Amino acid sequence: MTEPSAQPPTAQRIEEIARSATAELDSLENLEAVDQWRISYLGRRGTLTTVLRALSSLDVDERRTIGALANEAKNTLEDRLEQRVRHINEAALTRSASQNRLDVTLPGRPSKAGRLHPTTQIVREICSAFVAMGFGVVEGPEVEWEHYNFEMLNIPKGHPARDMWNTLWVDYEDPSGEQAMLLRTHTSPMQARVMESREPPIRVVVPGKCYRYEATDATHEWHFYQVEGLAVGEGITFADLKGTLYEFAHRLFGEERQIRFRCDYFPFVEPGVDMSIDCFACQGQGGGCRICRDSGWIEILGAGMVHPKVLEKVGYDKDRYTGFAFGMGPERIAMLKYGIDDIRHFYANDLRFLRQF
Ligand code: YSA
């Protein structure tokens, strides 16, 4: 790089500076070096600037000719500088375009899609089985009034059957002071809500979450799903209930599974039953099986004929209409279907479990 000159400027000196500056500029390949070049020739103390400043030492005629030459050299160098910067930028752009070009022949990267939770899958499967039999699907509130969870189901205050549903109460005062709020212990309150809102014939299933204040074990969670079923109309009998549930169980588990009905008690049905399927773990043998607690059977639902008092409470004519209802636990059904040995796996958020479905 040329050093600043203290000598009086001459045409030859200006020509030399312009030539060497141009040659130097043409060899530069990056913007930092170009900027250094600009400072050393055209900056405040740059070679050409120093020459321009020294013009004042010349006499008037010389100053005119040499000054014109010096200004022309300065304009030329400034133009060349601009061209060089453009050239370097364009070269960088071309390089990056060729390096980062899109290769459409590369195999795609698999996207990390999530999947439906096993409970959601089984709830959908259960609902589809009933939809195929002509049932509709409705949903209701998880935070419920005592009125629907108990009273409309023929379980008044102080009734011992309330103990069957270990209830989580919500700390909220009803303005009338007459009823309390709770986390629904079953999906049965939707029976009353549906019957209040429409006239028979009714055929619905109600999937949804329930909560109970109870200790957990291999078949009990404190929060779990239920799918409620309700059919009300003229001439509906217990045979319709059994036929519907047999059809459902065979669709879900296959024809070979054993099904058992036993008498059971629920205040909102008469008569009441529970339905069990032979245990997958011990093949119904029982002895020493922790899943079915030695019985050989796993209970999946409670059911029965809708109690006349429940029909009366929603304003239906109990002499004209009859109906059946049931409430099942989808997690227990998934356990039977897929051989899952502990209900607590469902909500432990362990991906090794969840990814199997
Ligand atoms: C009965 C008669 C009807 O006309 C309509 C519905 C019912 C069912 C009733 N409402 C009820 O809740 N019965 S139940 O307490 O026996 O629960 C029904 C099903 O929910 C059980 O068979 C089981 O599959 C599931 N379940 C109950 N408690 C559970 C549970 N699943 C997991 N964890 C728990 N803690």
Give the residue extent of every domain in the chain: 11-99, 118-354
User: Is residue 52's pLDDT more than 50?
Assistant: yes
User: How far is C-alpha 299 from the geometric centre of its chain's CA atoms?
Assistant: 32
Cβ contact 144:189 at 8 Å: yes
C-beta 335 within 6 A of ligand 1: no
What class does CATH assign to 118-354?
Answer: alpha beta
Q: Residues 232, 303, 325, 334: which is the catalytic one?
A: 325
C-beta 307 within 6 A of ligand 1: no
Position 3 confidence tier, pLDDT thresholds 50, 70, 90: very low
**Atom of ligand 1 minimally distant from the CA of 305:** 4
Quote the ligand 1 centre to 302 CA distance (angstroms): 6
Cβ contact 117:224 at 8 Å: no
Cα separation, 302 vs 261, in Å, equals 9
Q: ω before 271 within 30° of 0 (cis)? A: yes
Cα separation, 104 vs 115, in Å, equals 29
C-beta 226 within 6 A of ligand 1: yes
Cβ contact 319:308 at 8 Å: no
**Does the reported pTM lie above 0.75?**
no
Cα separation, 124 vs 203, in Å, equals 17
Closest CA to 204 of 226, 225, 231: 231
User: Is residue 220's pLDDT more than 80?
Assistant: yes
Q: What is the mean pLDDT of residues 213-228?
A: 95
Structure tokens at 302: 């409670």
Is 285 a residue of the active site? Answer: no
C-beta 264 within 6 A of ligand 1: no
Which residues are CB-neighbours of 145 under 8 A, at least 6 positions away?
174, 179, 180, 181, 182, 189
The continuous run of DSSP H or E covering 86 comes out as helix 60-99
Q: Residues 21, 73, 145, 165: which is the catalytic one?
A: 165
> Is 125 exposed, middle or buried (CB count within 10 Å of its CB: 0-12, 13-18, 19+)?
middle
The continuous run of DSSP H or E covering 180 comes out as strand 180-183
Structure tokens at 199: 């006239």
User: Is residue 60's pLDDT more than 50?
Assistant: yes
User: Is residue 115's pLDDT more than 50?
Assistant: yes
| Sequential DSSP letters for 275-288 | EEEE-TTTTT--TT
- Give the pLDDT confidence score for residue 100 in this predicted structure: 76
Strand order in the sheet with 180-183: 143-145, 180-183, 168-173
**Atom of ligand 1 minimally distant from the CA of 330:** 24
Quote the ligand 1 centre to 137 CA distance (angstroms): 19
Position 1 confidence tier, pLDDT thresholds 50, 70, 90: very low
Closest CA to 341 of 282, 304, 268, 291: 291
Is 186 a residue of the active site? Answer: yes
140-176 pLDDT, tens digit each:
999 999 999 999 999 998 888 888 889 999 998 778 8
Closest CA to 210 of 302, 277, 290, 280: 302
According to DSSP, the β-strands at 143-145 and 269-278 are unpaired
What sections of 184-237 are H helices per DSSP? Answer: 189-197
Q: What is the mean pLDDT of residues 297-325?
A: 96
Closest CA to 153 of 312, 30, 26, 274: 312
User: Is residue 222's pLDDT more than 70?
Assistant: yes
Is 226 a residue of the active site? Answer: yes
Residue 79 is which amino acid?
Answer: D
User: How far is C-alpha 19 from the geometric centre of its chain's CA atoms?
Assistant: 68
State the DSSP code for 119.
H
Structure tokens at 339: 């051989």
Position 6 confidence tier, pLDDT thresholds 50, 70, 90: low
Average pLDDT over the chain, rounded to an integer: 91
